[in-house]
């Protein structure tokens, strides 16, 4: 009896130990993942030669047969530091002059689910790099590809299209909108025609 009791106690202890171990393992996985969150990659060869060189779909209207969208991965969508760099570039390059802090004004809003020229990373990149009709300038001569990718990831974070852990949790300025990390993930939809 006593032996069985002790045995059971030992087993319970073992289970507890393995539970603690599992928790520690999970915690360390989370912590290690946290290290990657702000990895600073200062010297980058431009990611993909030119994402804008590929055929790019920016609208549902398409002449001829459907074009397969090349799937370029945004290099910085999961990098919190790069997203915040994108945010400071967004302000430094006066994107807020037309798009405001994402709510739109002179230019279309960037924090909603409505995407005139597509929400995929390479589509957003193309919109910034090449410019769009009715006032959006082409930035590819003014910014490096790395900087445009950073802005791309920031713009996507405005409507929650990148991993939540990489979005800004706090803003430096007074804002009426919640910070990007608290923005609900929007389901992007392409509007049928450019406005």
Which residues bind to other proteins, rule: CB under 8 A? 40, 42-43, 88, 92-93, 141-144, 146-147, 172
Residues 6+ apart with CB under 8 A from 143: 89, 93, 128, 151
What minimum distance in Å lies between the beta carbon of 101 and other proteins? 17
Residue whose CB is less far from other proteins, 90 or 115: 90
Q: Tell me the three state secondary structure of residue 136.
A: strand
What minimum distance in Å lies between the beta carbon of 189 and other proteins? 33
Cβ atoms of 153 and 178 closer than 8 Å: no
**Residue 4 tokens, joined:** 């069985």
How far from the centroid of its chain's Cα atoms is residue 16's Cα?
A: 39
What minimum distance in Å lies between the beta carbon of 92 and other proteins? 5
Residue whose CB is less far from other proteins, 40 or 176: 40
β-bridge pairing 189-190 and 114-115? parallel
Residue whose CB is less far from other proteins, 65 or 141: 141
What minimum distance in Å lies between the beta carbon of 178 and other proteins? 21
């Amino acid at each position: 009896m006593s032996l069985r009791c002790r045995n059971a106690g030992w087993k319970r202890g073992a289970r507890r130990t393995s539970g603690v171990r599992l928790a520690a393992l999970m915690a360390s996985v989370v912590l290690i993942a946290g290290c990657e969150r702000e990895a600073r990659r200062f010297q980058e060869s431009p990611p993909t030669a030119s994402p804008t060189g590929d055929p790019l779909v920016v609208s549902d209207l398409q002449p001829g047969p459907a074009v397969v969208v090349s799937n370029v991965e945004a290099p910085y969508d999961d990098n919190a530091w790069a997203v915040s760099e994108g945010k400071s570039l967004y302000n430094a390059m006066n994107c807020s002059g037309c798009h405001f802090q994402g709510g739109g004004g002179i230019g279309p809003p960037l924090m909603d689910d409505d995407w005139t020229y597509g929400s995929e990373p390479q589509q957003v990149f193309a919109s910034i790099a090449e410019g769009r009709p009715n006032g959006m300038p082409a930035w590819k001569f003014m910014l490096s590809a790395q900087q445009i990718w950073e802005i791309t990831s920031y713009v996507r974070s405005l409507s929650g299209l990148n991993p939540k852990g990489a979005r800004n949790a706090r803003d430096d300025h007074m804002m009426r909108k919640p910070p990007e990390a608290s923005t609900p993930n929007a389901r992007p939809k392409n509007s049928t025609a450019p406005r």
